[in-house]
Amino acid sequence: MEQTTNQLQEQFQQRVDEEQKIEPRDWMPEKYRQTLIRQISQHAHSEIIGMLPEGNWITRAPSLRRKAILLAKVQDEAGHGLYLYSAAETLGISRDEMYEQLHSGKAKYSSIFNYPTLSWADMGAIGWLVDGAAILNQIPLCRPSFGPYARAMVRVCKEESFHQRQGFECLLQLSKGSEVQRQMCQDAINRWWWPSLMMFGPKDDESPNSKLSMQWKIKRFTNDELRQKFVDMIAEQIKLLGMVLPDPDLKWNEQTKHYDYGAINWEEFKQVIQGNGPCNKERLEARKKAWADGAWVRDAATAHAAKQANKKAKANSLTKETQQP
**Is the CB of 76 or the CB of 122 nearer to other proteins?**
76
* Cα–Cα distance for residue pair 51/73, rounded to 1 Å: 9
Q: Does 274 bind other proteins (CB under 8 A)?
A: no
Residue 89 binding other proteins, by CB under 8 A = yes
List, in order, residues 6 or more apart from 116 with CB less than 8 Å away. Answer: 53, 278, 279
* Residue burial 3-17, b: 16+ Cβ < 10 Å; e: rest: eeeeeeeeebeebbe
**Could you say which DSSP state residue 60 is in?**
G
* Length of the chain in terms of residues written: 325
Nearest to 38 by CA among 227, 212, 266: 212
Query: Cα separations (Å) of 38 from 41, 134, 186, 227, 308?
Result: 5, 18, 36, 22, 38
Q: Which does 170 bind (CB under 5 to 8 A by kind): other proteins, Fe ion, none?
A: none
Binding window for other proteins (CB under 8 A); candidates: 54-62, 80-88, 221-229, 231-239: 80-88
**Stretch of 40-48, 119-127, 304-312, 315-323 contacting other proteins, by CB under 8 A:** 304-312
Residue 163 interacting with Fe ion (CB under 5 A): yes
For 7, 39, 103, 233, 249, the CA distances from 16, given in Å and listed in that order, are: 14, 18, 34, 31, 41
Q: Which of Fe ion, other proteins, none does residue 77 bind (CB under 5 to 8 Å by kind)?
A: Fe ion
From residue 113 to residue 132, what is the string marking binding to Fe ion with x (rule CB under 5 A)?
------------------x-
- Ramachandran bin of 258, using left for φ above 0, alpha for ψ from -120 to 50, beta for the remaining angles: beta
Restricting to residues 8-67, name those near other proteins by CB under 8 A. Answer: 8, 23-27, 30
Most distant CA pair in the chain: distance in Å?
93
| Binding span for Fe ion by CB under 5 A among 104-112, 162-170, 260-268, 315-323 | 162-170
302 binds, among Fe ion, other proteins, none (CB under 5 to 8 A by kind): other proteins
> Site map for Fe ion, 18-57, x if CB under 5 A?
-----------------------------x----------
Determine if 66 is a binding residue for Fe ion (CB under 5 A): no
Beta strands in the chain (DSSP E): 251-253, 258-260
User: How many residues of this chain interact with Fe ion, rule: CB under 5 A?
Assistant: 6
- Shortest Å distance, C-beta 306 to other proteins: 6
Q: By the criterion CB under 8 A, which residues form the site for other proteins?
A: 2-3, 5, 8, 23-27, 30, 72, 75-76, 79, 82-83, 86-87, 89-96, 151-152, 155, 159, 298-299, 301-302, 304-306, 308-309
